[in-house]
Structure 1
């Protein structure tokens, strides 16, 4: 599954939140605008019927028919108006926006309901032709006596059209405002995500550096909130780890030095006994002493490895650089590993160009790099396998490639294969029986990087392993300057 960064999650979630808020507000504004328009139309209708009541009362009282008809002609200009009229209690029309209805006696259901009602305001709906009409009826009173009824009818469909037309402009404004709000919200969301994720990225990078062994690294504290407290705890943890690492290095250094002296003495006495200086030995006694000698040598190599690791970690590795021929070192390695190759029937071949320049290296350290890498290759290569060493020049480096047909390294182990005491656990064949201290590749990495080079592994289970080493080429001009100095 593809990893999604915290910053991306913050941007996505914030954008969705802003989008939801904008949509919610936009819809709310749209519905509120629609409700406002409908209320405004209803209020307009009520004002019109109330005005009609006042004009009609005046016209009936003063018997001024022209006043009433003039007002009805004014109402007739409204596009949503279906009719406006004044009629008596028995339905006889006194005045109508349709002059042909004047004097007619209405007997439709809405008129019957309007005549029969005792309410101050009657709102009803009825169908006229293919349209639905909203009818408002108010009684015309004088001294609590009903003189007539004032009625105004509006087309419901036409009012809906007017509302939609008014909402169209409102809709455009709402969409524009929503787009601007969304753009501003997304910008603020991105800005906040950067501001919030920056200290978290610093914590992550710091944790990676500390995890990679850079215990001197400290996370810069820029805030006094929970993230600042977490950064402080990280720094405290790094300081304690650094203190423990120093104690460990001191312990390893002291123990290895303390072990080396008695071990040297032990090896000396074993050699003394094997030479027969203390008297003749039988075969069984010699066999026992050889076992002691071999294990003492093995322990001595382990102690040397521990000392090398301690020097690498402390930055106190002493290097005596000089030009070293890769071709000569490869021939030496063929001689050293010939017995092991013959025993396991593993072929070892080299491909070193004749014009390959020498590298600048401490001969002992470079020899140990070759020995460790080739030892691992022989260790994990089964019978009738092959080991190849090739070298080519790449700019200011010599690229060394150690390739074998062994059991290979699982992908998950490639990232940690150079760690101290890290041993790959093979799953098949003779590799299951191999043993080691887990320091060889760590020493290789330390020696290579101390010379300004780089080392990495490529491997797959069952397909062998390829170790790559980039080693600086010896610069003749630089060497001459050093000799003069």
Structure 2
């Protein structure tokens, strides 16, 4: 069953349910209103009878009173009888002459005479007619002079109410049918407006699945579907970005593997082509070239393994107290030949009295190798790389700066700089890499209990701000 059909059926059921509830509520309300209206009418009638009875009693005009009682009964079919009794409950006027001058001795008659308000009772006559009788005390000044009473036929009242409610039911049914028809039209229009965005999103998902990552969904409905389309487009852009990163990573891995392997293969072929003489003529420099390329491969594989350990939460740090100056000094000396070839200066500003840091020494060495090698890649001839450190009490951390005068990183790329497979790219040159270095750097620093941030201005250079603890965590 299609979504549109399901939605339409659901709304139709809800509409029918609401119509039924509304019908019941209206029916009950109308019935209650009719009963209340009839009750008020009965109270008014018995009250008026009391006033007329008092006036007639004062004038001794019982003929007028009897005629008035007959008028009451004749004017409304629900009136079964009407009467007036004096202070001794003797019937002075009655719609049925047989009861005139009869003294009523029942409890209700006595209670009605003594009451200060209108009272009522329900009873059944000898003929089986159900009656609701209202009785109102009649007073002259403060003296009780009699009781006005009217009996109403419950059967006729119920019949009149049923007839009125039948008309109400017809009106409600007519209104319900019209409302249901309008509701169906509204359901059709609403379901169409809902299903259309769903179809667009479904088609968009299919296109993404087919590899068309440029797919965009344009919805301007201003509701949750528009928000969903916006998130879909964001997801599509992210997938495209990841796809590009995958291609870049594949290209980088190919380059990182091919370059050192190609160099090693070249020198091995040189040795093999020369036979025994080739082996004897192989210089130390050639062997160092092969060794360096093998080391480059080893570092690349180590980076991949470290990234996998970080992702799985299995990277461990073997923390100890050690001085930063020997570590950074050795690395500066190691990178100096490469820097000299590019005419780049490496400066270290770390005092000997700087407190020892508590971290994994080899991992920290790995951090500085990555940061300094990155700085060398993007610092042009005549530039400078500076590594400095400072400590101020009562801080528990040493502050470290690795700064270069390279091309800098665009502001929009800074927030992604530590993401896995993101490659640091300068403004004018593109350098191959795996995009794992800074990801590993950040992970090592944070596992050591420190932090790392980056600041950069295009054309002026980049600065990494690190902290490492001086106390055990």
Q: Calculate the TM-score normalised by the size of structure 1.
A: 0.48
Structure 2 length-normalised TM: 0.50
